[in-house]
């Protein structure tokens, strides 16, 4: 069987080996960092850390789920997806709120405008940008890791008066591990006595070299509170997006990632999804993680109902039979039969994994007692 050492798994996730050992312990598996664990257990751990696992050999049922391969002619430019990361209270949400006010699309809020963790704005040049917020507390490490896997770039928010803090470092590690470019937004520059050189040197210690120190990481000084330099930050994002030359094929079955989900009293399961390929249409049959459903409604971040959503658009979808987990992928499939087949397979796999992990725990305990 496929085996991986705890240390190697930790390396691949850019996580501390000790944290992986702890996660295994919580699952009832005793292992030291030099020991090997099987692929199913490794996948469970990786999922818990917020990573998506792609095995080399998948079952027949999963085959074809990736859909057709896009050729260069099929690809069209798409807006960048930007994740805002940084330490608790450094101003991520304030910055997102301030950026949202710069939206020139002129959309009036529709029905229920609620805070969803992702939205798209149009800037005066006509370019559009999608932003994703990530919670700042340590418990949400997994969510942040997922943020980095759907994102084209990270805006690292560092409060000028506080500097680089533990979750700033974590965010840097995630971005580096995911090989995603970073833009530094030094926030709260309205505060008296801030020392920008200190922040730059602290970043340097983590291999983030800003342009003023001769590196290639753009650094923008902002104040979310006063709305200072938001235009410069948006320019930096567009510049970075041009370098990345982001494209997707909008003319195919939709694929994307679940960003958030919840069970709404009136509306049933609601998932905020990011479309990454193709166009999601009302009436599509989708599989999201181990759930499926017919898309009854597509709602944008202003609460406005849409008939379809294209690559890089974050939308809420209604009509799923259950609540998928954040970080899971969704895909539009041809019919209900196929959707049931895939979800039943996935649910069975999930049950088997839990049983296998429990079995492994018993084995290890027996070994220890022997």
CA distance 330 to 281: 13
CB 154 within 8 A of CB 92: no
Smallest separation, CB 106 to ligand GTP (Å): 26
- Tell which one of 51, 78, 90, 200 touches ligand GTP (CB under 6 A): 90
Judged by beta carbon, residue 92 or residue 200, the one nearer ligand GTP is 92
CB 164 within 8 A of CB 127: no
187 labelled as ligand-binding?
A: yes
* Nearest CA-CA partner of 255 in 328, 171, 166: 328
Q: Which stretch binds Mg ion (CB under 5 A): 5-13, 91-99, 113-121, 207-215?
A: 91-99
Task: State both tokens at 164.
Answer: 């680089």
Q: Is 169 near ligand GTP (CB under 6 A)?
A: no
Smallest separation, CB 163 to Mg ion (Å): 18
Q: Which of the choices Mg ion, ligand GTP, none does residue 187 contact, using the CB cut-off of 5 to 8 A by kind?
A: ligand GTP
CA distance 87 to 299: 30
Q: Which stretch binds Mg ion (CB under 5 A): 89-97, 148-156, 160-168, 328-336?
A: 89-97
Q: Which of the choices ligand GTP, Mg ion, none does residue 174 contact, using the CB cut-off of 5 to 8 A by kind?
A: none
Q: Is 83 near Mg ion (CB under 5 A)?
A: no
- Tell which one of 39, 65, 88, 302 touches ligand GTP (CB under 6 A): 88
- Tell which one of 165, 178, 225, 350 touches ligand GTP (CB under 6 A): 225
Please work out the total of residues on this chain that contact ligand GTP, with binding judged by CB under 6 A.
17
DSSP 35-79: SEEEHHHHHHHHHHTT-----SS--GGGTTTT-PPPPGGG-EE--
DSSP tag of 163: -
Q: Where are any strands of DSSP class E within the chain?
A: 3-5, 36-38, 76-77, 81-86, 118-122, 128-133, 153-159, 182-187, 219-221, 247-248, 255-264, 268-277, 280-281, 285-288, 291-299, 305-306, 308-309, 314-320, 329-333
CB 142 within 8 A of CB 171: no
168 labelled as ligand-binding?
A: no
Please give the backbone phi and psi of residue 23, each rounded to the nearest 5 degrees, phi first: -60, -40
Smallest separation, CB 84 to Mg ion (Å): 9
88 labelled as ligand-binding?
A: yes
Tell which positions 134-163 bind ligand GTP, by CB under 6 A: 135-136
134 labelled as ligand-binding?
A: yes
188 labelled as ligand-binding?
A: yes
Q: Is 5 near ligand GTP (CB under 6 A)?
A: no
Q: What is the 3-state secondary structure (H, E, C) of 101-124?
A: CCCCCCCCCCCCCCCCCEEEEECC
Smallest separation, CB 205 to ligand GTP (Å): 21
Q: Residue 194: how many CB atoms within 10 A of its CB?
A: 18
Q: Residue 283: how many CB atoms within 10 A of its CB?
A: 12
Judged by beta carbon, residue 46 or residue 183, the one nearer ligand GTP is 183
CB 32 within 8 A of CB 42: no
Please work out the total of residues on this chain that contact Mg ion, with binding judged by CB under 5 A.
2
Q: Which residue is nearest to ligand GTP (CB)?
A: 136
Q: Is 224 near ligand GTP (CB under 6 A)?
A: yes
- HSE-CB of 100 using CA atoms within 13 angstroms: 19
Q: Is 93 near Mg ion (CB under 5 A)?
A: yes
Q: Is 218 near ligand GTP (CB under 6 A)?
A: no
Smallest separation, CB 189 to ligand GTP (Å): 7
Judged by beta carbon, residue 67 or residue 135, the one nearer ligand GTP is 135
Q: Which residues bind ligand GTP (CB under 6 A)?
A: 86, 88-94, 135-136, 187-188, 190-191, 223-225
């Amino acid at each position: 069987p496929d085996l991986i050492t705890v240390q190697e798994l930790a390396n691949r996730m850019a996580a501390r080996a000790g944290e992986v050992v702890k996660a295994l312990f919580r699952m009832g598996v005793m292992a030291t960092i030099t020991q090997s664990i099987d692929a199913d257990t490794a996948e469970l751990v990786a999922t818990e850390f917020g990573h998506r696992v792609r095995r080399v050999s998948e079952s027949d049922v999963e085959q074809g789920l990736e859909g057709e391969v896009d050729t260069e002619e099929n690809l069209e430019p798409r807006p960048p997806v930007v994740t805002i990361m940084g330490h608790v209270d450094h101003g991520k949400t304030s910055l997102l709120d301030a950026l949202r006010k710069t939206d020139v699309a002129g959309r009036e809020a529709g029905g229920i405008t609620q805070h969803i963790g992702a939205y798209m704005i149009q800037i005066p040049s006509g370019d559009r940008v999608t932003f994703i917020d990530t919670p700042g507390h340590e418990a949400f490490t997994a969510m942040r890791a997922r943020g980095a896997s759907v994102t084209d770039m990270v805006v690292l928010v560092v409060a000028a008066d506080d500097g680089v803090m533990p979750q700033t470092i974590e965010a840097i590690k995630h971005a580096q591990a995911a090989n995603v470019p970073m833009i530094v937004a030094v926030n709260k520059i309205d505060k008296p006595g801030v020392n920008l050189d200190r922040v730059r040197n602290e970043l340097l210690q983590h291999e983030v070299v800003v342009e003023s120190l001769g590196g290639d990481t753009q650094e923008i000084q902002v104040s979310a509170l006063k709305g200072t330099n938001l235009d410069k930050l948006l320019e930096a994002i567009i510049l970075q997006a041009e370098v990345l030359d982001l494209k997707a094929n909008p003319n195919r079955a939709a694929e994307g990632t679940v960003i958030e989900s919840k069970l709404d009293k009136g509306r049933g399961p609601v998932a905020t999804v990011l479309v990454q390929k193709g166009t999601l249409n009302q009436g599509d049959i989708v599989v999201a993680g181990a759930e499926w459903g017919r898309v009854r409604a597509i709602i944008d971040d202003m609460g406005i109902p849409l008939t379809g959503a294209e690559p890089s658009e974050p939308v809420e979808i209604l009509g799923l039979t259950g609540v998928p987990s954040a970080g899971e992928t969704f895909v539009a499939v041809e019919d209900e039969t196929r959707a049931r087949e895939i979800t039943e397979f996935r649910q069975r796999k999930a049950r088997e994994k839990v049983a296998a992990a429990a079995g492994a725990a018993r084995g290890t305990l027996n070994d220890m007692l022997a």
